[in-house]
Chains A and B, each alone.
Chain A
């Protein structure tokens, strides 16, 4: 009763200051993220334009670049004949209407290019992060529980190996072994060449194939996911296992965990309800970072598996000095990171009431 009375006044103050504490907390995070997006556009624009090199020369063929009329038309078409400040504010103005410009490489709207590349990356990134979280949490917890024992050492070596092996090398080796030698994985790409892409609804071939009722396409698309997801998972599992182990070790030393054990609670209950719950915030943080990294860092894996995702698009745009394309990718990745961090921040508030109350 005393406790109840003691906690009431702060709640009343929170409400009088403008709504539910979690809503206020979420609103602050959203506003901060929007300001950061504007910052991301400025940084991306400056960095993109600081790169030495002439986008006109890179986009046009040798002969075309020697014709002043062709060069002038190209510059006018892409707004490169205007001062940089004007270009930036034009870009911001267009951005407000969802227009990221036109790619000098593909001649398509950058939004269109990104919207076709993003689902390909999301499909492997989601698969990899889900598997990584499941495996990483289990292995990290086991390693922490068996600290100093043989299984702990083995898991630490395995996770270190996952982090250390270059992904492009691992991708090539796994492709060679599973596709060419063992014939248990399909060839590169998102679908076998006998298949047409399913009608686009989400852009995720597995989902779209199911929605279209094309079971054979679904199975083929799912089979093509196997190796890229495996490669990305092996790397991310290494990262997560090490973080989870550290986080769980810290919680295991807490008094409330010792008390729970002393009370004779089953190990499963102690792990789920006490240890992992306590370790969930640092785990969530690293999962958010790992997912962001998966979205932006799949260039080499996409290259080996001929996967037409954001990584491939970024490489293509950068190598052709396609400034609208580079800007678009930079902005997309920045926004994805912010979005993932925002979700993680909001989940902090859900998991730990102290976070939202402190805000």
Chain B
């Protein structure tokens, strides 16, 4: 390689560096700064070292216990969301029309929930699921099922899960649809010639071709569901009791309710690291599924 080395090219990266510094690095550093200090207002700060982190990660303390409980709720919520939305999204994508005017119509309808702001989604479902005036709550109760998301933790969970499925399954479906559209017709024709069953077509053609978009879908849905705040806050406010209090809700209580900036900052950092770690695991596992296949020389 005799490419000329021109290190002045690095200057071209400077604008991006500056933007990222102002948008991410500097705010993050203030959080790091808070996380190792305590304050009683008046802009007076006292060094606390790793004190907040130790308290946070020790489940025997009050704060540690709350963090642990809400972390489990978060993990359970994300797990349920992924198990429902990924298969459902794939199924919807497979059922979507491939050509004609119906494509545009379907895409618009599918994109609709994605365009609704989070707190509006929360408000819609908060009203929709009410037993007295909400269409859903009223109907379910009239069918003889005792349903009250304000009092019953299970009903509260069902409500926010159904709401999230309604809000975000479209995203998975649209991503999968894009993956499906990229499969050349010849694959389906060859499968017919080979006498493949519908299941075999899905298993050996459609699923492998959707793998890349599915990685993106799983990552996006994990991150979003793990960081969920607005909708449960609007619908249940974290209740009944603490049953739908997620890490994010806990965090806001801590930071804005109690004004414990040090604890809240420490918790933000831990929260952030958990998301990063889980995403890294997902990504590594899903991309390594075919390391064995990639070892031979790549396509000519």
Q: Are A and B co-members of a single complex?
A: no
| B contact residues vs A (CB 8 Å cutoff) | none
